[in-house]
Amino acid sequence: MRSRSFCSLAAALAALAAAPARAQDAPVKPDGMALSRFVPAPAGDRMFSVPSPFAPGHLTPHVMLMADYASNPLVLRRARDGAEIGAVVSDQLTFRLNASLPLWNKVSFDLDAPLTALQSGENPNGGGREFASPSGAELGDLRLGARVQLYGTYHDPLQLAVGAYLWLPTGAADSFVSDGHVRAMPYLAAGGRLDRLVWSSSLGTELRRSQSFGGVAQGTMLTLGGGVGFLALGDRLQVGPELTTAMVLEDISSRSINAELLLDARYRFLPFLEAGVGVGPGLTSGIGTPDLRVVAMAAFTPEQPPDGDRDGIPDPEDACPKVAGERSADPRKHGCPPPPDRDNDGIPDGEDACPFVAGVASADPRKHGCPPPPDRDNDGIPDGEDACPFVAGVASADPRKHGCPPPPDRDNDGIPDGEDACPFVAGVASADPRKHGCPPPPDRDNDGIPDGEDACPFVAGVASADPRKHGCPPPPDRDNDGIPDGEDACPIVAGVASDDPRKNGCPPDQDEDGVPDSEDACPEVKGLRSKDPAKNGCPRDTDGDEIRDDKDACPREKGFADPDPEKHGCPKAVRVTDKNVVILQQVQFDTDKATIKPVSDPLLDEVAQVLKEHPEIVLIEIQGHTDDRGTDEHNRVLSQNRANSVMAALVRRGIDSTRLTAQGYGRDQPLDNNATEEGRQRNRRVQFIIIKKAAYKPQVETGEDR
């Protein structure tokens, strides 16, 4: 292997031997050349160096750490006899952070960040020139990638994808880790799974600038790779070979062709964790082809769920995992074959009353899926129901007329001639058959009361049960409240009827609060007079939260509207009891600190407002509590500092510090079991305990809302 793979620079020495002596002092260094020909596949792919044609698991991240060691990737040999002079690069060890993120099970984006931690060589001298060997650690070129699946799904035997890599020149150009320029490689990938065998192949073109190193051309390369893996141990173990090749298109010779073989194995220890190792020789003498390459990796790569019937629906979601089907919003049918429909009318045979004859949908199960009944006159009424099946007609509640043309109506008044007492003169309907269809009687004052019944036929009036007043104008009612002025106790102000002659026609005051209903914004609830029309006659709003005391579940605490009567008018996050000021949310602190997070500012604003609304709370203790993690001393100090922070926050919000005291209790007073995360969350808390209260002196209610 060594005699074949270490001839990369042999031909160069012949040219260098004739170089002038004055050039011998300048060592040969790369002017931007990424030496390694190993291109790792994105995290989550099946092979080490051959990309896979899939993008499984929407928004499922894959992260891989990889180590890549190459032995003698660049060796100097004498041109005339092939004798080895020395290794320009004898060892190259690179660590990589590689990650990928699929989207929609069709697109995948990836990133590869290399760090060459070790490079060494012998600084060989050939043809009168010294070839400088690299040393020390260097960053390599950052690689970005994208891939789109064109055909197939993760478990299919044949899948196709197109993708591309883009290298950014982030590495040192003189250390064999970077071209010093942007590189790109579009590629086509094919692969799949056949029972216990998985395979991947790729064909691409790496676009890079043209240059020469030691007389050997470097530039754009055609790349080809392929690999197979054999699955065992319930698909947890994969073993197989990979072959990758690259050929410089500008100078096709043994010096510009690279080929490497890897025999690799990977094992999935957990559903989301796998590790693997690969080892193999270089097969050609091209620059960058090592004598031996060793690759190791560990990856977070969640296992894709099986799809036994290969219908693109994972078995855990597939209601018929052994039979290929189609997607459905119904979980019971998702992944199952569609029901049979032998007549192809879109109605499943199980629901089709005529499964062998294409039909239409019907609400009647006996007709559902059957051809529609005949309708020879095309009037929308089936012949079986049509009393006139050969003549287009109209629907009728009378079966004898249903589907028949409507009867004649010569005066077009909507009343058939057979029922019209005046068939030649348009009229109106009447309960009296003698008048039905005839013009209405005269009504000279147009008040809707025929002149023959109108006691005042020339003056428009109103109906009355009294024949002497029927059709006559009503008595005067200056306030238009329907109560004649002669009976109205308040004839100029609209009112309501009352059995009490003194109130008849006067404005009502249902709640008897002295505010007439017409002015009373709350006419059914006794209230107070107010200059504000919206509050006039309404109960007081003690806490000023725009919710009346009679509807306010917390009349002394400014709160918010809520559909729950027990919460209506109460603060969202704070309640006051006899012994506590209860907070329904917890004060949030930075982890293991006493710094209050901004998200808790609204909660502390509300606590401060409640304390201002309750001056009878003379002294309140702010208690800090922790869970059992950490030492007793640490927890006591942390809880004390957090209690002090809350106290300081309330003082900044205008609460007198003499009303507050702060005490940290550490982990000594748990509310729940510290053995669970949920219990520890409950134990990490701030509490407000009322120490001293004064008697509450409510405001004396008067008849005027001030």
Q: How far is CA 522 from its chain centroid?
A: 46
pLDDT at residue 319, as a whole number: 85
Q: How far is CA 519 from its chain centroid?
A: 52
First-residue to last-residue Cα distance in the chain: 103
Residue 342 CA to residue 351 CA, distance in Å, equals 12
Q: What is the DSSP letter of 508?
A: P
Q: What is the DSSP letter of 442?
A: P
Residue 496 CA to residue 504 CA, distance in Å, equals 6
Residue 363 makes CB contacts below 8 A (sequence gap 6+) with none
- Contact between 387 and 397 under an 8 Å Cβ cutoff? The reply is no
Question: 238-284 pLDDT, tens per residue?
Answer: 999 999 999 999 877 767 899 999 999 999 999 999 999 999 999 99
Read off the pLDDT of each residue in 545-573 and give the average, rounded to a whole number.
Answer: 78
Statement: residue 446 has pLDDT above 80: yes
pLDDT at residue 631, as a whole number: 93
Average model confidence (pLDDT) across the chain: 86
Between 424 and 508, name the one with better pLDDT: 424
Cα→Cα distances 39→50, 51, 335, 628, 670, Å: 8, 9, 38, 50, 56
Statement: residue 703 has pLDDT above 70: no
Residue 363 CA to residue 281 CA, distance in Å, equals 74
Q: What string of DSSP letters covers 307-368?
A: -TT-SSS-GGG-SSTTS--B--SSTTTTTBPPPP-TT-SSS-TTT-SSTTS-----SSTTTT
Amino acid at 503: K
Residue 518 CA to residue 510 CA, distance in Å, equals 10
Report the C-alpha dihedral over residues 356, 362, 367, 371, rounded to 10 degrees.
Answer: -50
User: Domain spans of the chain?
Assistant: 2-300, 309-338, 574-693
β pairing state of 159-168 and 183-194: antiparallel
CB atoms within 10 A of CB 96: 21
Residue 531 makes CB contacts below 8 A (sequence gap 6+) with none
Residue 224 CA to residue 243 CA, distance in Å, equals 8
Read off the pLDDT of each residue in 169-198 and give the average, rounded to a whole number.
Answer: 93
| The domain made up of 2-300 is a member of CATH 3.40.50.150 | no
Residue 419 CA to residue 411 CA, distance in Å, equals 12
- Contact between 288 and 258 under an 8 Å Cβ cutoff? The reply is yes
Residue 69 CA to residue 193 CA, distance in Å, equals 30
Structure tokens belonging to residue 474:
């009503």
Question: 141-166 pLDDT, tens per residue?
Answer: 999 999 999 998 888 899 999 999 99
- Contact between 322 and 308 under an 8 Å Cβ cutoff? The reply is yes
pLDDT at residue 505, as a whole number: 81
Question: 516-550 pLDDT, tens per residue?
Answer: 877 777 887 887 888 888 787 788 877 777 788 77
| The domain made up of 574-693 is a member of CATH 3.40.50.720 | no
Statement: residue 642 has pLDDT above 90: yes
Structure tokens belonging to residue 70:
């190459």
Statement: residue 605 has pLDDT above 90: yes
